[in-house]
Amino acid sequence: MRITFLGTGSAMPTGSRFQTGIVVEDDGRRVLVDCGSGVLHRLQQSGVGYENVSTVLLTHHHVDHVSDLMALLKARWLAGEEQLEVVGPTGTKAFIEGLLSVHDYLDGRVDLQVREVVPGEEFSVAGFDVEGFETRHSMDCLAYRFGDAFTFSGDSEAFEGLANFSDGSDVLAHDCSFPDEVDVSNHPTPSQLGEALSGTDIGRVYLTHLYPHTDGNHEAMLKSIAEHYDGDVGFAEDLLSVEI
């Protein structure tokens, strides 16, 4: 399996980190998890290409996770691609209908299939067996686990349930939006994440969804996590590709 981080930033642009998007690939199968601003460009820079992404799996509907979705649909239509599947949590069908009511000229341009999944459900998407888990965020949001290979936290506070859901993964990409000095809810700080992950067995943890506040604080953030969690932790970067 190969994981490619297309966007590791947040709703506040830095110029070097685009918004959330991760490509999961294995044996000819491919799914794009989230599609924030800049992800369409990163798809081209990564060599994956929007023509080769026919399935998008959404963690939730905040704009920094979905803002390139209609741009992806339009690019695929103009390239002559005929299909796009969007899978996401409850409310995804209504969300897509709302987007198409605004961008009505895109309605019907491709065969658009929309499917909703619920927490605790094991489902198939783009040939992958995936399980969803409800996170702690300011709107309904799902973390996703791709077998024992890869887990993505989506947006979430760090908590024991999500850590247990991720336990045993070869790679975990986890929201770590702010350094410890920032008082925040709906996202974790490094000390909170380290405490939650304590006692888990994860091959490598990549920190993502990084706000500008984290710039210049990477070393301190890693040290803070290490006070509670002794596993392998590093920062994700845009266009980083990891073979599992």
* Residues paired with residue 134 on neighbouring β-strands, in sequence order: 142
Which amino acid, 9? G
Say whether 64 is catalytic. Answer: yes
| Catalytic residue, candidates 64, 155, 175, 238 | 64
Q: Which residue has the tokens 């040290």?
A: 223
Radius of gyration of the chain (CA): 17
> Which residues are the active-site residues?
64
